[in-house]
């Protein structure tokens, strides 16, 4: 289980009620940031999201509303005397841009591990630790753009405690070893294998982040059976032609992606400033995919498998 927290739900222009693109995923005291528009670090403070370790920042593309907040955030981390390495994933050229920040061009006060996605890539695992993986796929926008999927790894299956005890298991470490799929030596002699005592692995939860794009194969692959899909919905369907011209999606199109991908829940975001109220976009999405809502800034969305 983890939480998804939108920092900004607007597109291109900030408004009095909407900030620019940015979303945090928090799991067991560790965070990943997807996009970092202007004002993102202020939203982190307002949402009490600065505690814990920030492991990675994933930038979809080099339009300012998605990354102009990153230089300020990196500088703040330096002022806070960060020592842990930080992974930054993004399009070609992002490392050069950030390297121009004063104090960062010669290596910086902490290590930045850049993962630059290349033009024409089809799929990449861009971050991995013992609990999660993040994969990237290309989207279709006016410039190079990538979407991301945050996926928990499988967990060991449940163990039949009564059956294990009846088989001679007495120590806690033996239960843990069996859950890991390892055979254990028994006190009275002999070896016990986990076969028949441990259930199948439990799949982890998944979150798909699909901004900015028209509906495309990359976005659908990221959304496939995701427990939570965040998909841009810049316009309502009456502006579908405009959406296509500028490389964006309508609320109906976002809902069609969620429906066809068998996603668990849809959050639409990246709303044009012409919509002071997201209700028309939500209503349009729900005509296609009932479990759809507008992302609300600083709301914590729990994601479970």
Residues 26 and 173 in one domain: no
Q: What is the DSSP string of 146-189?
A: EEEEEEEPPBPPPB-HHHHHHTT--SHHHHHHHHTT--EE-TTS
pLDDT of residue 283: 98
Residues 164 and 271 in one domain: no
Active site residue: 35, 55, 65, 227, which one? 65
* Element at 89 (helix H, strand E): strand 86-90
Cα dihedral 61/67/68/73 (nearest 10): -160
Which backbone phi and psi does 34 adopt, to 5 degrees? -105, 115
The first and second tokens of residue 143, run together, are 């410039």
pLDDT of residue 134: 98
Residues 274 and 195 in one domain: no
Residues 196 and 185 in one domain: yes
Show which of 141, 175, 201 is a domain's final residue: 201
Q: Are strands 53-58 and 30-34 parallel, antiparallel or unpaired?
A: parallel
pLDDT of residue 159: 84
| CA angle in degrees (0–180, nearest 5) for 84-87-93 | 135
Instruction: Provide the number of structural domains found in the chain.
Output: 2
Cα–Cα distance between 194 and 182 in angstroms, integer?
7
Residues 63 and 176 in one domain: no
pLDDT of residue 52: 82
Domain span at 187? 157-201
Which residue has 């999606």 as its token pair? 249
pLDDT tens, per residue, the chain with 305 residues:
899 999 999 999 889 999 999 999 999 999 999 999 999 999 999 999 987 899 999 999 999 999 999 999 999 999 999 999 999 999 999 999 998 888 777 667 899 999 999 999 999 999 999 999 999 999 999 999 999 999 999 887 788 888 888 888 888 888 888 887 888 888 877 888 888 888 887 889 999 999 999 999 999 999 999 999 999 999 999 999 999 999 999 999 999 999 999 999 999 999 999 999 999 999 999 999 999 999 999 999 999 98
Residues 72 and 189 in one domain: no
Name the DSSP letter for residue 203: P
pLDDT of residue 202: 82
pLDDT of residue 155: 81
- In the residue annotation, 65 being an active-site residue is answered as yes
Binding-site members for Zn(2+) are: 61, 63, 65-66, 141, 212, 270
């Amino acid at each position: 289980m983890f939480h998804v927290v939108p920092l900004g739900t607007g597109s291109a222009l900030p408004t009095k009620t909407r900030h620019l693109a940015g979303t945090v995923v928090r799991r067991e005291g560790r965070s990943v940031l997807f996009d970092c528009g202007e004002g993102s670090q202020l939203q982190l403070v307002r949402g009490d999201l600065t505690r814990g370790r920030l492991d990675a920042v994933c930038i979809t593309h080099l339009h300012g509303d998605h990354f102009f907040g990153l230089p300020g955030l990196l500088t703040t981390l330096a002022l806070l005397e960060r020592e842990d390495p930080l992974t930054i994933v993004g399009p070609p050229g992002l490392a050069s841009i950030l390297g121009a920040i004063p104090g960062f061009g010669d290596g910086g006060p902490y290590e930045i591990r850049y993962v630059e996605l290349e033009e024409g890539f089809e799929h990449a695992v861009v971050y991995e630790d013992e609990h999660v993986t993040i994969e990237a796929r290309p989207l279709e926008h006016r410039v190079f753009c990538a979407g991301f999927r945050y996926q928990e790894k499988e967990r060991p299956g449940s163990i039949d405690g009564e059956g294990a005890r009846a088989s001679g298991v007495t120590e806690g470490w033996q239960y843990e070893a069996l859950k890991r799929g390892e055979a254990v030596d028994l006190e009275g002699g002999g070896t016990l294998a986990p076969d028949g005592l441990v259930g199948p692995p439990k799949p982890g939860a998944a979150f798909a982040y699909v901004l900015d794009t028209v509906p495309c194969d990359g976005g659908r692959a990221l959304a496939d059976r995701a427990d939570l899909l965040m998909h841009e919905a810049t316009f309502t369907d009456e502006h579908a032609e405009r959406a296509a011209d500028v490389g964006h999606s309508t609320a109906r199109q976002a809902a069609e992606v969620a429906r066809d991908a068998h996603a668990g829940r849809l959050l639409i975001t990246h709303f044009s400033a012409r919509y002071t109220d997201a209700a028309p976009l939500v209503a349009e999405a729900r005509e296609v995919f009932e479990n759809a809502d507008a992302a609300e800034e600083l709301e914590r969305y729990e994601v479970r498998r």
